[in-house]
């Protein structure tokens, strides 16, 4: 059997972290098995459609390194890959279901359905269609269809059970008594998700339908639809729920935001791939660092666990730092130039690259961390900041600046380097009668505009003698 998987997002917004994991796992499973991966756009909900969503979906996939063999842009033998362009297929299937007695036209108005729901709520009955149109004779149905709007409802079996054989969950049994005759085709001729996914997964020869846990309750509908249409269902794999650090369902607040926001906020795709991979899967019982190539070779649904995964942003930050430090020099230099937001010559990039690499956890820190390298003055700060770590004692701050000024002035331009600066600053300890860690923040603020930043000795060396003296003088002036 050829493995064919798909990612089938609805273009109703930018793909979120929780959702894109299904793309990564589907893609990896196809790649690891020499199969094909499809991108299909499920755009049948016209009311929730967002124009920019398709771009965001494709950009998110590109950013992570996920390519598709069939779908938008690349085309393929099952074109079109947009459900809105495939309506005749669904309408045909709905017609067949009606003809074969597995579905019926429902003429209930939205008002009636609304009243029904309210009555069910009031009498504490389970919600669901009450079946009023289920037994309308075919002739009457045909006649009314000529001038009344209708939906097509699927006749669910109401007795017995429906069993989902899930690759991750094992068998899951659903009680048919709780199932409802759902709408398969809407009155505007568009299918619902249930009909469209069954028709398309069949027509596109999907072998494994890998999707989020939130779809598991739809599985009995799909299973009965496959059965009624006489189609062979795919292997289903419902990925485990993702919980936030609070162990509640992942929400926007706990990190389930747009994938591309993570890119904008300075995360590396390698870190995100590694992070997403472990939301339910593992390579073995000890490996914690995996690349997209590892996934491509070794991803296996057999190693996806059913129990919920926890989204831990600290872990993502750790991975990001790891991959920043693992970048080759050329890419790191290019990254610095890109994220500093400033014109930087190669020598400056090379000087700052090693110290920056140790400090940065997210690339969006590069801009603020390197801001002090540009211009004569330190980035703007309040005078109080100079003495903040000295309990607000401005007099000590002033002494620190004065003595530093004197010490730096004695270093000749040609001797201005990390070692001589370190010696000068350490030499302030006996003069001031203070430990370095006590007073160093004054110098950090004067030079870098912040009590923490890139290592001070290197930073002072990089900005040079005249700018250093100028900034110390400026700090003294602020205190005065
Ligand atoms: N359109 C559904 C979604 O947005 C697809 C679910 C599936 O993969 O079957 O998640």
Residues marked active site are found at 252
Ligand 1 mean position to 10 CA, how many Å? 7
Same structural domain, 209 and 247: no
Give the total number of structural domains in the chain: 4
The pick from 22, 50, 239 for probing ligand 1's pocket by mutation, whose C-beta has the most ligand atoms within 8 angstroms, reads 22
pLDDT single digits (tens) 119-174: 999 999 888 999 999 999 999 999 999 999 999 999 999 999 999 999 999 999 99
Q: What integer is the mean pLDDT of 180-186?
A: 97
- For residue 215, being part of any structural domain is answered with yes
Mean pLDDT value of segment 220-248: 96
In this structure, the residue with its CA closest to atom 3 of ligand 1 is 9
Helix (H) or strand (E) holding 152: strand 151-154
State which of 208, 211, 221 you would mutate to test the pocket of ligand 1, scoring each by most atoms of that ligand within 8 A of its C-beta. Answer: 211
The radius of gyration of the chain's CA atoms, rounded to the nearest angstrom, is 31
Same domain, 407 and 309: no
29-58 pLDDT, tens digit per residue, is 999 999 999 999 999 998 999 999 999 999
Pocket of ligand 1 (CB under 6 A): 8-10, 42, 193, 197, 209, 211, 215
**In the predicted model, is pLDDT for residue 61 greater than 80?**
yes
Whether residue 167 is found in the same domain as residue 207: yes
- pLDDT tens by residue, 389-424: 999 999 999 999 999 999 999 999 999 999 999 999
Can you give the pLDDT at residue 126? Answer: 86
Residue 168 lies in a domain: yes
User: Does the structure show a pLDDT above 80 at 283?
Assistant: yes
Phi, psi values for residue 125, rounded to 5°: -90, 155
Q: Among 370, 395, 430, which residue terminates a domain?
A: 370
Q: What's the pTM value of the predicted model, to 2 decimals?
A: 0.93
Same domain, 137 and 195: yes
Q: How far is the CA of 463 from the centre of ligand 1 (A)?
A: 54
pLDDT band at 179 (very low <50, low <70, confident <90, very high): very high
**Does 80 fall in a domain?**
no
Task: Report residue 233's pLDDT band, with 50, 70 and 90 as the boundaries.
Answer: very high
When pLDDT is cut at 50, 70 and 90, the band that residue 386 belongs to is very high
Q: Whose CA is nearest to atom 9 of ligand 1?
A: 211
User: Which residue from 9, 17, 86 has its CB within 8 A of the most atoms of ligand 1, so it is best to mutate?
Assistant: 9
Is a pLDDT exceeding 80 seen at residue 255?
no
Counting from 1 in the atom list of ligand 1, the atom nearest the Cα of 210 is 8
Q: What is the pLDDT of residue 249?
A: 86
Do 296 and 345 lie in a common domain? no
Structural domain including 352 reads 328-370
Looking at ligand 1, which residue's alpha carbon is closest to its atom 8? 211
Sign of CA dihedral 196, 202, 203, 205: positive
Coil vs helix vs strand at 225: helix
State whether residue 74 is helix, strand or coil. coil
- pLDDT tens-digit map of 311-346: 999 999 999 999 999 999 999 999 999 999 999 999
Higher pLDDT, 163 or 248: 163
């Amino acid at each position: 059997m050829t493995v064919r998987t798909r990612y089938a997002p609805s273009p109703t917004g930018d793909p979120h972290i929780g959702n894109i994991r299904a793309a990564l796992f589907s893609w990896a499973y196809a790649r690891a098995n020499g199969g094909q991966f499809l991108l299909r756009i499920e755009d049948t909900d016209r009311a929730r459609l967002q124009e920019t969503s398709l771009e965001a979906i494709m950009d998110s996939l590109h950013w992570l390194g996920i390519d598709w063999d069939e779908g938008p842009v690349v085309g393929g033998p099952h074109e079109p890959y947009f459900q809105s362009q495939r309506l005749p297929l669904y309408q045909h299937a709905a017609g067949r279901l009606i003809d074969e007695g597995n579905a019926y036209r429902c003429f209930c108005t939205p008002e009636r359905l609304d009243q029904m729901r309210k009555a069910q709520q009031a009498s504490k009955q389970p919600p669901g269609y009450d079946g009023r149109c289920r037994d309308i004779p075919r002739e009457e149905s045909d006649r009314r269809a000529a001038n009344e709007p209708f939906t097509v409802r699927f006749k669910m079996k109401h007795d017995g059970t429906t069993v989902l054989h899930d690759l991750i969950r094992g068998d899951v049994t659903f009680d048919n008594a709780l199932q409802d005759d759902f709408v398969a085709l809407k009155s505007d001729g568009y299918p619902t998700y249930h009909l469209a996914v069954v028709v398309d997964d069949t027509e596109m020869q999907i072998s494994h339908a890998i999707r989020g846990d939130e779809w598991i309750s739809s599985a009995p509908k799909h299973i009965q639809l496959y059965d009624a249409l006489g189609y062979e269902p795919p292997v289903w794999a419902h990925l485990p729920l993702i919980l936030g650090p609070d162990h509640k369902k992942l929400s926007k607040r706990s990190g389930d935001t747009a994938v591309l926001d993570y890119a904008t906020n300075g995360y590396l795709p390698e870190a995100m791939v590694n992070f997403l991979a472990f939301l339910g899967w593992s390579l073995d019982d000890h490996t914690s660092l995996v690349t997209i190539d590892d996934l491509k070779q070794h991803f296996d649904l057999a190693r996806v666990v059913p129990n919920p995964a926890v989204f831990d942003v600290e872990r993502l930050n750790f991975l990001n730092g790891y991959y920043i430090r693992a970048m080759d020099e050329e890419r790191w230099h290019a990254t610095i130039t890109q994220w500093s937001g400033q014109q930087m010559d190669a020598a400056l990039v090379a000087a700052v690259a090693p110290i920056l690499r140790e400090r940065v956890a997210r690339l969006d820190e590069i801009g603020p961390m390197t801001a002090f390298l540009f211009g004569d003055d330190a980035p703007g700060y309040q005078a109080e900041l100079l003495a903040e770590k000295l309990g607000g004692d401005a007099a000590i701050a002033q002494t620190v600046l004065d003595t530093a000024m004197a010490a730096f002035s004695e270093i000749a331009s040609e001797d201005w380097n990390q070692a001589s600066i370190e010696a000068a600053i350490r030499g302030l300890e006996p003069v001031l009668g203070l430990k370095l860690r006590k007073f160093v923040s004054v110098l950090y603020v004067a030079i870098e505009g912040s009590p923490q930043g890139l290592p001070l000795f290197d930073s002072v060396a990089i900005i040079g003698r005249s700018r250093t003296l100028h900034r110390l003088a400026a700090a003294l002036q602020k205190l005065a």
